[in-house]
Amino acid sequence: MKATNKNSGFKLPENYLENFNNSLLDKIASQEEMEKDKLPTKEGFNVPNDYFNNLHKNIVEKLNETPIKVISIKSYKKYYYFAIATAAILLLLIGINLNKTETYNMSDLANADIDAYLEYADLDLSAYEIAEVMPIDNLDIIDVLEVGIKEENILDYLDSNMDDFNELNIENNEY
Amino acid sequence: MIEEQTLIDDLKQTETQARAFEKLVNTYKERLYWHIRRIVLNHDDADDVLQNTFIKVYRNIDNFKGDSKLYSWMYRIATNESLSFLKSKSKKMGIDSVELQETLLNNLESDVYFEGDKIQLKLQKAIATLPEKQKLVFNMKYFDEMKYDEISEVLETSVGGLKASYHLATKKIEAYLKEN
């Protein structure tokens, strides 16, 4: 084999062949470095010799050694006693409260609660129906009005707005 | 599929149980072992968890309804057993899960059953930085080369969610390896 090619007309860079070996080795080294930087596909974990061969035998041994876990009721005995005692006390307290019948009357209810009930509950009562059950005898004007009205103002009002005094039910009313 | 059904039926019958269990162990032991080992890192712990996984499978085979593949069901048990094992280990040691991972990785360097080189150790360190779910997905996809459908059956997560988890995991690992 000829070491040179006289007829091709191709030319080589200076010292190309002399430096070829070094540049090739550099390239190989850099490729190896790149390979190293790649993520490994194996974790590097290892197992003892014959580990997988003996595994079934080991599992069967362990299976026989560890019978199905039965939770002993004895070890929880004190907790059961505690739970039973607590339940008994609670039942006793609830029982006492159930037997105690408390009686309530209107004075136990806050006025605001009654107002709210009348306002929001759908009572479907007309003013006349309410008037029928309202104890007019005991009703005072200040029960329905927050600010009292002077008698002279009432008379003035009646004087200017009332054409027929017969419309007024004055039988049981002082006005 | 027919073979799997036969194996399940045999496991449920007393007279064929022992032989079927041996077949089950021999068929799945290596795949399950590596799955567990990647989570717990240490061989002795992996051995403990693997044995408990098979014992659980053996004792609960009657509860296996066949909604998923037997293999996926066992994988799910192995995953849960591994995660519970790590939780109880960190509890026993009085440290949190991050500290436990650090301890496990430090022990890995001196583990006689770890023969990984620097980059393999670095990769394990990178994986340890991932959240639990991403860690599982990465290991199952990258090392186990499981399909997304299979991972989806084991982890009971949508394929889309798994793809996103894997993408995030690889990005984080790349970033970790560049920084460290």
Residue with tokens 């974990």: A45
Q: Taking CB atoms and an 8 Å limit, are B37 and A45 in contact across chains?
A: yes
pLDDT band at A84 (very low <50, low <70, confident <90, very high): confident
- Within a domain: A42: no
pLDDT band at B30 (very low <50, low <70, confident <90, very high): very high
- Tens of pLDDT, residue by residue over B89-148, are 999 999 998 899 889 988 888 888 998 888 889 999 999 999 999 999 999 999 999 999
- Within a domain: A134: yes
SS in 3 state form for A90-137? HHHHHHHHHHCCCCCCHHHCCHHHHHHHHHHCCCCCCHHHHHHHCCHH
Q: Using a CB–CB cutoff of 8 Å, tell me whether B135 touches chain A.
A: no
CB pairs under 8 A between A and B: 73
Q: Which residue of B has its CA nearest to A41?
A: B143
- Tens of pLDDT, residue by residue over A120-166, are 766 666 666 666 666 666 666 666 666 667 777 887 877 777 666 55
A130: domain range? 107-167
Count of domains forming chain A: 1
Q: Taking CB atoms and an 8 Å limit, are B116 and A41 in contact across chains?
A: no
- Mean pLDDT for B57-75 is 90
Q: Which residue of B has its CA nearest to A42?
A: B143
Kindly report the CATH number that applies to the domain delimited by B1-113.
Answer: 1.10.1740.10
Eight-class DSSP state of B156: T
pLDDT of residue A94: 77
Provide the residue ranges of all domains of chain B, joining segments of one domain with +. 1-113, 116-180
pLDDT of residue A111: 75
Q: Are B86 and B40 in contact (CB under 8 A)?
A: yes
Higher pLDDT, B57 or A1: B57
How far is A135 from B65, CA to CA, in rounded Å?
74
- Tens of pLDDT, residue by residue over B71-92, are 999 999 999 999 999 999 999 9
Q: Using a CB–CB cutoff of 8 Å, tell me whether A41 touches chain B.
A: yes
User: What are the start-end ranges of the H helices in B41-117?
Assistant: 43-60, 70-93, 97-109
Q: Using a CB–CB cutoff of 8 Å, tell me whether A48 touches chain B.
A: yes
- The ipTM estimated for the assembled molecules is 0.82
- Tens of pLDDT, residue by residue over A96-133, are 666 666 666 767 777 777 777 777 766 666 666 666 66
Tokens representing residue B148 in the block: 């997304």
Probe site for chain B from A59, A61, A63, A68 (most B CB atoms < 10 A): A59
For B116-180, which CATH class? Answer: mainly alpha
Q: Using a CB–CB cutoff of 8 Å, tell me whether B176 touches chain A.
A: no
Q: What is the mean pLDDT of chain A?
A: 72
Q: Using a CB–CB cutoff of 8 Å, tell me whether A63 touches chain B.
A: yes
Q: Which residue of A has its CA nearest to B21?
A: A56
How far is B101 from B79, CA to CA, in rounded Å?
17
Compute the nearest-CA separation of A43 from chain B (Å). 6
Compute the nearest-CA separation of A33 from chain B (Å). 12
The alpha carbon of residue A140 and the mean position of all alpha carbons in its chain are separated, in whole angstroms, by 52
- Within a domain: A139: yes
Q: Taking CB atoms and an 8 Å limit, are A40 and B116 in contact across chains?
A: yes
Let me know if the fold of B1-113 is the same as that of B116-180. Answer: no
Cβ-based neighbours of B140, under 8 Å, separated by 6 or more:
B35, B146, B150, B151, B154
- Within a domain: A142: yes
- pLDDT of B44 above 90: yes
pLDDT band at A175 (very low <50, low <70, confident <90, very high): very low
Compute the nearest-CA separation of B164 from chain A (Å). 20
- Within a domain: A124: yes
Least confident of A72-76, B113-117, B156-160, B171-175: A72-76
